[in-house]
Amino acid sequence: MGDEAVQATNEDATSCKLSAVQLGYWRDPYVQLMYRKSVRRAPEIHLGYYARVQGFRYLIDKVFEACDTRVQIISLGAGFDTLFWRLTDENKPIQNFVEVDFSGVTSKKCFIIKRNKELLTKVADAESEVKFSRTDLHGNRYHLVAADFSNSQNLQDKFAESEVDYQCPTVILAECALVYADSTKVDTVLSWLGKQFTSMVFINYEQINMEDKFGKVMVDNLWSRGCMLSGVAACKDKQSQISRFTNNGWESATCWTMNEVYSLLPQEDVFRVEKIEMLDEKELLRQLFEHYCITVARKNSPNFNFDSVNFD
């Protein structure tokens, strides 16, 4: 974990999102500020990122709806994600927003934010100071910090710098991040997180069904790019994704394959995006969706009930 190949997946993901946004799959005026190298991707890739982005959007909206107070969001392995700016534009009641990634990623993102007024003006109130170092940024409502999220002591130190409130309802996000970390270390961190926060939800997007033929090809492809999937054992199936949380003290967890998520998204919008690039054959898309999932875990959060969630 931490090698350049893994960190390079951030730019690849951002490039894919930029390609999809430019075609109108969803609206994100900030992704082009994060990354400008536009490379046209395949329709299946665009639809995959659409389902991923929209799935997270609807789940996060459910959290805001369930809360009667402001919410804290922590993103592990955040990369060049733009969620903070999009939620700010929607006037969501954010108490604190913390992004964590390796220094090689955060240093680039700090530079990007510092040179773009559209990004910089939103990380703090007008009367508040924004503090920069080479790798970290601290505003009064947004923090970007360099840390190894698989090290709980490292996280604890950075959370202190970021004024994390352990009593505030908190959403922790991870997108294709845990799979690159050692499973034993991830278990330790998940257990530690569950003990620290009073009320918490974890939303995780990741690979699944990695032991079938299609999954093994995916693993081999990533290994050939130098990405060692140290946590792939948790990606065996739905139960393994759920168990990584429930075995580490979380009250419950629910897992959906992306085929299931795609069927739960508002179908009027799904129909709209499917017309952007017509697919003659959807078999590859279905196979891809069957090998990614979203898992939602809960800890001491009676107001966050996703057991029968519908994304409409």
pLDDT at residue 312 in the model? 47
pLDDT at residue 309 in the model? 52
Looking at the domain assignment, is residue 311 inside a domain? no
Looking at the domain assignment, is residue 137 inside a domain? yes
Q: Which two tokens stand for residue 154?
A: 């490292």
Looking at the domain assignment, is residue 308 inside a domain? no
Looking at the domain assignment, is residue 307 inside a domain? no
Note down the domain range covering 78: 4-299
pLDDT at residue 16 in the model? 94
Contact 133, 178 (CB under 8 A): no
- Its pTM stands at 0.94
**Alpha carbon distance 153, 220 (integer Å):** 32
pLDDT at residue 311 in the model? 52
The total domain count for the chain is: 1
* Tens-place pLDDT, residues 138-193: 999 999 999 999 999 999 999 999 999 999 999 999 999 999 999 999 999 999 99
pLDDT under 50 in the chain at which residues?
A: 1-2, 303-308, 312
pLDDT at residue 229 in the model? 79
Q: How far apart are the first and last CA of the chain?
A: 37
**Alpha carbon distance 124, 280 (integer Å):** 47
pLDDT at residue 126 in the model? 77
* Tens-place pLDDT, residues 249-261: 999 999 999 999 9
Ranges assigned E (strand) in the chain: 71-76, 94-101, 131-132, 137-138, 142-146, 170-175, 200-207, 252-257, 292-299
Looking at the domain assignment, is residue 283 inside a domain? yes
Looking at the domain assignment, is residue 294 inside a domain? yes
Q: CATH number of the domain that 133 lies in?
A: 3.40.50.150
Residues with Cβ < 8 Å from 95, sequence gap 6 or more? 69, 70, 71, 72, 141, 165, 168
Looking at the domain assignment, is residue 309 inside a domain? no
pLDDT at residue 227 in the model? 72
Looking at the domain assignment, is residue 232 inside a domain? yes
